Structure 1
Amino acid sequence: MLDYKLYSDLDYHHIYINASKELIEVFRNEIVELHHIGSTSIEGVSVVPSVEILPVVKDLNKIDNYITQMKQIGYSLTQTSLDRNNKYLLFTAHKNDIEISVLIIERTDCDILEKKLAVRDYLRTHNEARIAYKQFKQKLNHFTRGTQDIQRAEDEYLKEIEAKAIYWYRLNN
C-alpha cells in the first residue's frame, strides 16, 4: 500500500493553478489551452497525490526549445511519442510530495484532447460512475506491485468507460 498525505480537492485545484502559472511563464504564447485532468480534477476522487495537467500547444515541435526551462522549474522529460497518430511529450516533477504530470499535446490532436476531457467531464457529472471509479482507484492503491501494473490496470478500466464518456461528451458539447 502506498503511503501519502491526503490533500483536499481545493488543495489540488490550487496546485493545478500554481503549476499552470509556471507553465504559462515557460511556454508563453505557445499554449493555446490548459486543462486539469486525472482523478484530482474530479471532486471527491483524489485518491493518490498527483496532479495531471494537459497543455494544448500550437506546435509540439517547438517544445524542444523549452526543455531547459522546464528542468529549471523541476520537471524532467519522461516520455515522448512523435508517432503520427499519437504525438505528445510528458514531463513530470515531484513537488511537496505530489507528482505533477504535464502531458503536452498539439492543438491538431483532437482525439487525445476529446478523450481526456470526455472522461473527466463524464465522471464529474455521473455520480455512479464517479463512485465506481473512486472505489477502483482505492482498490489499486492497495496493490504492492509496481506502478506499471497499476497503470495498466487503470488504463484497462478507463477504456471501459471511454466509449460511454465520448458518446455522452459528443452529445453535450
Structure 2
Amino acid sequence: MQLLSATPSCAKSCSLSPPLFWQKMDRSGEGYKSVDKTQNEERKFLKCFVPPLMAAIVALSPLCNTPVSLGQTMDARKGATLFHRACIGCHDGGGNIIQPGATLFLKDLERNGVDKEEEIYQVTYYGKGRMPGFGENCTPRGQCTFGPRLQEDEIKLLAEFVKSQADRGWPSIETDGE
C-alpha cells in the first residue's frame, strides 16, 4: 500500500496514521482496511486536528473579541449615569426640548460646530446659548447651572458618552441603577 506524500504534521505529532482517504488503494484492491478500523483512525486523527482548528476560528472570530475594554465599558456606564442625572431633562434620547436645532444628534452637532469630544466638553463645562455650563469654574455666573457642578473627569466622561451616542445614532440608553 502506498501513502500520499503529504502527511500532515498533526498525524506525526499524534502518532496516528493518516485516515483512509489519504491512502491509495493498491492495484489488487487489497489496500483498504476494514470500515470500523478506518473510522476509528479517522476519529482519532480528527480529534488531533480539530481542536487547534477550532481554537484558531474562535480566536479570530469577531464575536469573541470585544470591541472595548472593561474600563471603557465602565466609563460608558458612568457616562450614561451622569447623562441621566444632569442632561436627560433637556436632552432625552439625544433631542433638545428647549432648542430643537441644538440636539445631540450628529447632524446637529456638526452643523453647530460641536462634533468633537473636546468641543462637547467645552460646551458642557462653560455652557453655550441656552445651555448652562456644569463646570466647577464656569463663568459668567448667569451662564452656569444653579444645580450641582460636575468634576472635570465627569464632564470628560459625559463628552465621550455624548459623542459615542451621536456616532451610533442615539440608541435607547439603559443603565442598571448606578
The two structures share one fold, judged by TM-score above 0.5: no
Give the greater-gyration-radius structure (CA): 2
TM-score computed with the length of structure 2 as normaliser? 0.24
User: Higher strand share goes to which structure?
Assistant: 1
Q: Which has the higher contact order (CA 8 A, sep 6+)?
A: 1
TM-score computed with the length of structure 1 as normaliser? 0.24
